[in-house]
């Protein structure tokens, strides 16, 4: 398996524009997590899905952020409109829970810069 795949790796956009980040989890994993990492706040859990259903979105900072998982192999995190304070590295991770939790496998991340 190629691991968790995120795209794009880098995104530079102007304030007010819509940004869409994409994630392909590891095949067979039924949990998907979106994290945001900044120097100030560290690693924050934004939202997570189980079997494509959002379970907890309490970490989503504002209504400008939305996430979807239309099927087991794809998820998006959208920011509309984007603001400079959204600049961060966004990580997607996937895991599974069979007889016990697996660890979370992380993608390479998307470095977002909003100017």
| Contact between 97 and another protein per CB under 8 A | yes
| Contact between 25 and another protein per CB under 8 A | no
| Contact between 48 and another protein per CB under 8 A | yes
74 touches 6 (CB < 8 A): no
- Alpha-carbon 111 to chain mean position: 11
One residue of 27, 55, 61, 84 binding another protein per CB under 8 A: 55
How many residues comprise the chain?
115
| Contact between 91 and another protein per CB under 8 A | yes
88 touches 114 (CB < 8 A): no
To another protein, the closest distance from the beta carbon of 108 in angstroms equals 5
Which residues of this protein are in contact with another protein, per CB under 8 A?
33, 35, 42-43, 45, 48, 50, 55-56, 91, 93, 95, 97, 100-101, 103-109
């Amino acid at each position: 398996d190629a691991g968790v795949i995120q795209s794009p790796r880098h995104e530079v956009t102007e304030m007010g524009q819509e940004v869409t980040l994409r994630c392909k989890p590891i095949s067979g994993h039924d949990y998907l997590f979106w994290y945001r990492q900044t120097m100030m706040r560290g690693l924050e859990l934004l939202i997570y899905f189980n079997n494509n259903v959002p379970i907890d979105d309490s970490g989503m900072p504002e209504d400008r952020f939305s996430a979807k998982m239309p099927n087991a192999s794809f998820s998006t995190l959208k920011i509309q409109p984007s603001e400079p304070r959204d600049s961060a590295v966004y990580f997607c991770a996937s895991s599974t829970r069979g007889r016990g939790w697996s660890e979370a496998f992380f993608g390479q991340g998307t470095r977002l810069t909003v100017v």
